[in-house]
Each structure stands twice: as C-alpha cells, then as structure tokens.
Homo-oligomer: A and B are copies of this chain.
Amino acid sequence: MLELIEQKKMKRSEADEELSQMQTKLIDLANAVKAAKIPVIITIDGWAAAGKGSQIAKLIKYMDPRFYNVEPIRIPNEQEKRKPWQHRYWMKLPKQGEFLILDGSWFSDTVKSYMHGTINKEQYKRRIEDINVMERQLHADGYLIIKLFLHITQKEQLKRLKALEADEFTRWRVDDHDFENNSHYDKRFKRFDKLLEATNTEVVPWNIIPANEKLTAQYEIMRIVTEAIEGAVAAKEKGEEYIMPAQFKPHSDASNYSRPYKFNIVKTKKLSEIDMNKSLTEEQYRRKLKKYQNRLFELQNICYQRKIPVVIAYEGWDAGGKGGNIKRVASALDPRGYEVKPIAAPEPSELARHYLWRFWKRLENDGHFTIFDRTWYGRVMVEPIEKITPEKRAFMAYLEINEFEHQLTDWGAVVIKFWINIDKDEQYRRFKERENTPSKQWKITDEDWRNREKWDEYEEAVNRMIKLTSTDFAPWTVIEGNDKKYARIKALKTICDRLEERLGI
C-alpha cells in the first residue's frame, strides 16, 4: 500500500484557509458526536519522526478536552503483560460520544513486537486476526475507528532525525537505534506494508497520510477525520450502519488474514435429551468431594506456577444451584488465587461501551482463576428475549463470543463453561421452598416467576447457544442439576479433567 502514496505539497495559503474551515467544523462535529452518542477511536501510527505527536496536538486543538483522551501506546507494563495482549486496548475504550486518540496502536505494537522478537511468526499471524476481529467487533457495536498512518520517505526521515539530534532540547528523543533503523528503511517498509495490507479491511480501512510535508499531512488528517465523522453522524441519524469510504482495498494475498476465525464446533445434546435422573448418595458425595477438592487445589498450584489463567463461566436456570456449586469449587482453592465475579445488570459506564468490555475488565491476571456467576451469554439469552438488545445485533454475539473465548485461549487460558440444568418441576419445587423458608425468601422475586413463564423460549435459546458456541477450545458442559450433590461433583471433576488435559498430567 505504501508504494502507491505520492508525497504531495499544498500551497500554504490554500491549506490555511481550508484548515481553518475544517477546524471550525470539527468543533461542531465533536458536539454532534456527543449528541449522537458515537464512540470514536482515532489511531495514529507511522514512521519514527513522522510527526505523530505534533499532528495529534493540532487535531485536538479545537476539541473539548472533556470529551477526548490521548493515550500513548508503549511497551506493555508488567500488569498488562499478565493479561491478553489486546486487553489494554479494551480497557481504554471510549464511552459513547467520546474520543480516544491513540499515539501508536495495536498496529505498531504488533509490528514492533514481531521485529524485536517478542512474538514469533505464528503469534504475529494470530495478532493480525485479533486486530481484524477487534476492529470488526467494535465497528459492529457502533464505534467509529479512524486509522491513520503517517508516511515519510527514507530521505525525509534521515533529515528529521538529524534535525532532532542537532537540537539540544530534542536530542534525547533520538539514538543510534533510530539511525540504524533508517538505514534499514526498506526492510521496515516491507513489514509495514504487509501489515497495513493485512489489516486494511472494508469495515475499517487504513488511511495513509503522505507526511513529508507537515502542512499537507495536517490537512489530510483533518479532511479524513472530519469526513469520517460527518459520515458516521449522518448514517446514525438515518439509522444506517456506517462504513468508512475505503481508500484502499485489501490485496488478495491479505485475505488470508482478514477472514474471521473459523471454529470447530463439537457436537452437543439438546436439553431435552439429557438424562436428568443422575444422583449421588451422601456417602459417595463426601468421598468424591474430598477427592476432587484436594485434586483441584493441587492443580491450582501448578496453574499458578505456570501462569496459566483459568476462566470458569457459570450459567443455568434460576434456582439451578449455581451459588452452592461455585462455593464448592471456591472452597477448594487458595483464596488468593481466584475471584468470583457476580454479573448483574450493567451500569451506565458499561452500557456506554461494547458489551464485552465489562467482561474484559473483570479478567484476573494469568495464573489466577476468574469465576463468572452469569456471563457474556446474557447477550444471547436474556437480552433478545427481554428485548433489551435487538435480535439481529444480539445474534452477532455467537461469533463475537466464540472469538472472545478463542482470544482467551490464545492468551493461554483454560475456558470452562457450565450450564446447570434442572427440569421445570424441580425449579417449581425450589421456588416454593424458597418462598416458604424465611432465610431464603430474598432469593426469590416476582421476576423469577415471570422468567419461568418463558421457560420454552429460554430453553430454545439455551439449546441454540450451546449448539453454536460449543467450540473445541471452549466447549459447554451441561450439568444435570436436579441432584445438587451430583452437580457439584460433576463441576469439580470437569474442572480437574480440563486442567489435567491442559497441563498434560
């Protein structure tokens, strides 16, 4: 893509006038973005000394500082290294109506990691997929992502490095490394070019800015940003999905990278096919509980030492016994190594971001267990059924969730998902018991009875969910829950089995 770019030079008088018009327009557009609740991400990558910092300063000069945030992307810090690589980008997501401006991005992060040898070729390829997946997911959720690459020639870069070195105030910004890189400009050119192509998707295309001339670059950035925002605001007003006008189409050889993940789905049973009569005697239960809890404790220790993250997702019918089940898992573990995350209705700051954000946010460090009591699967169950999210949008989540769990697996996580199943009669019995037991009354509400009326609708949703998201890396385990003892042992045993499989022991 880079070789197609011509370094242009505008006349100052011409540029100045147009710029001042666009700056005025940008103020209005930023207000329109706020009103239309569009979250905007602008990423600025490019060659060293291409002028990223000063271009950002010019861009934001006419924006309200309460509504943007500029974040430099450097080498990940220690905390960030203990999370999936894209975690830090998710954490920085702007709210609807706000701007995030990244100085550097997942693009330069990935190029540098690969060229410095921090990640190998295989990981590099996966990151390209990750980037395209992340951008597509955000785009589908209404994020406007504007990607800018500041392109300068080898000669221009050398000139700028020398100028920086000559000035005592800027000398600290340059070292031998930079000059060394400049002498290998061609090699970097090819690397940049390949990654630009591989991440130049139709939904979130690249904008290559000829930046030898600073004024021209400034003009181009302004033009692209204002046009993109105008387009997004207009589309939102019309209720359309907005796709940025692509400057470039991906080369055919890049299509390998930009296709979405294809996942292997394992065969599953429908809930109606499950044998719900399984149970354990009190004596069997005690013996097995001890056995698997001890085993789990040992396995946790090994996971901790090997820094393997474990993510356990609990879903199930109301009164299915999730709480008691989680308790038996938790009480086996070293309490410093896990955290249980109860998922309730989202807060305003969560609703103002991509729906997966609040789950990314809750991930514990590698080596730790994160146990979710209800999960991201609310997106494809309660949300469409209760009309919180339109069906069309909610159903995109099957792919997005598989991608999310695949990214967790790539991070090294063992992802274990439980559906605690009880039948309708058993639920009725437990609801009644709760109503009749003073200490349990707080656990039963009118909402539970209302949800129960939609049993069939939920059952269909659960069947579909299990069918579409039982991937080979993150399969569902349906737990026969009419007998709580049986259910607890099955959960513990499943966790132990999955960990042993992962640890190869």
Binding site for B on A (CB under 8 A): 28, 31, 35, 53, 56-57, 60-61, 64-66, 69-72, 77-79, 101, 103, 323, 326-327, 330-331, 334-336, 338-340, 342, 347-349, 371, 373, 439, 442
Q: Is B103 touching A336 in the complex (CB atoms < 8 A)?
A: yes
Query: Which are the 6 A-B pairs with shortest beta-carbon distances?
Result: A65-B330, A70-B335, A65-B340, A72-B336, A66-B342, A347-B347
Q: Is A339 touching B69 in the complex (CB atoms < 8 A)?
A: yes
Residues from chain B with a CB closer than 8 A to the CB of A35 are: 442
Distance, CA A61 to CA B331, complexed state (A)? 6
Q: What is the minimal beta-carbon distance from A306 to any residue of chain B, in angstroms?
A: 14
Residues from chain B with a CB closer than 8 A to the CB of A57 are: 334-335
Q: Is A65 touching B327 in the complex (CB atoms < 8 A)?
A: yes
Q: What is the minimal beta-carbon distance from A321 to any residue of chain B, in angstroms?
A: 13
Question: What residue in chain B is nearest A72 (Cβ atoms)?
Answer: B336
Q: Is B66 touching A336 in the complex (CB atoms < 8 A)?
A: no
Q: What is the minimal beta-carbon distance from A351 to any residue of chain B, in angstroms?
A: 10
Distance, CA A371 to CA B64, complexed state (A)? 13
| Sample of 19 A–B contacts (CB below 8 Å) | A31-B439, A31-B442, A35-B442, A53-B334, A53-B336, A56-B336, A60-B331, A60-B335, A65-B327, A65-B331, A65-B338, A65-B340, A66-B340, A66-B342, A69-B339, A70-B336, A72-B336, A347-B348, A347-B349
Residues from chain B with a CB closer than 8 A to the CB of A78 are: 77-79
Question: What residue in chain B is nearest A27 (Cβ atoms)?
Answer: B439
Q: Is B79 touching A373 in the complex (CB atoms < 8 A)?
A: no
Distance, CA A349 to CA B361, complexed state (A)? 14
Indicate the member of A28, A66, A439 with the most B CB atoms within 10 Å.
A66
Distance, CA A247 to CA B326, complexed state (A)? 36
Distance, CA A4 to CA B340, complexed state (A)? 39
Residues from chain B with a CB closer than 8 A to the CB of A326 are: 65-66
Residues from chain B with a CB closer than 8 A to the CB of A373 are: 66
Residues from chain B with a CB closer than 8 A to the CB of A348 are: 347
Distance, CA A339 to CA B60, complexed state (A)? 13
Residues from chain B with a CB closer than 8 A to the CB of A442 are: 31, 35
Residues from chain B with a CB closer than 8 A to the CB of A56 are: 335-336
Indicate the member of A64, A71, A338 with the most B CB atoms within 10 Å.
A64
Q: What is the minimal beta-carbon distance from A418 to any residue of chain B, in angstroms?
A: 15
Residues from chain B with a CB closer than 8 A to the CB of A64 are: 323, 327
Q: What is the minimal beta-carbon distance from A397 to any residue of chain B, in angstroms?
A: 24
Residues from chain B with a CB closer than 8 A to the CB of A327 are: 64-65
Distance, CA A373 to CA B79, complexed state (A)? 29
Q: Is B61 touching A336 in the complex (CB atoms < 8 A)?
A: no
Q: What is the minimal beta-carbon distance from A477 to any residue of chain B, in angstroms?
A: 20
Residues from chain B with a CB closer than 8 A to the CB of A70 are: 335-336
Distance, CA A439 to CA B71, complexed state (A)? 29
Q: What is the minimal beta-carbon distance from A70 to any residue of chain B, in angstroms?
A: 4
Residues from chain B with a CB closer than 8 A to the CB of A72 are: 336
Residues from chain B with a CB closer than 8 A to the CB of A347 are: 347-349
Q: What is the minimal beta-carbon distance from A37 to any residue of chain B, in angstroms?
A: 13
Distance, CA A53 to CA B297, complexed state (A)? 14
Q: Which of B66, B334, B349 has a CB less than 8 Å from the CB of A323?
A: B66
Question: What residue in chain B is nearest A60 (Cβ atoms)?
Answer: B335
Given contacts A327-B64, A331-B61, contact A439 B28 (CB under 8 A): yes
Given contact pairs A65-B338, A66-B373, enumerate 17 new A-B contacts (beta carbons under 8 Å).
A28-B439, A31-B439, A53-B334, A56-B336, A60-B331, A61-B331, A64-B323, A64-B327, A65-B326, A65-B371, A66-B323, A66-B326, A66-B340, A69-B339, A70-B336, A103-B336, A347-B347
Q: What is the minimal beta-carbon distance from A104 to any residue of chain B, in angstroms?
A: 10
Q: Which of B28, B71, B334, B338 has a CB less than 8 Å from the CB of A336?
A: B71
Q: What is the minimal beta-carbon distance from A186 to any residue of chain B, in angstroms?
A: 30
Distance, CA A377 to CA B442, complexed state (A)? 37
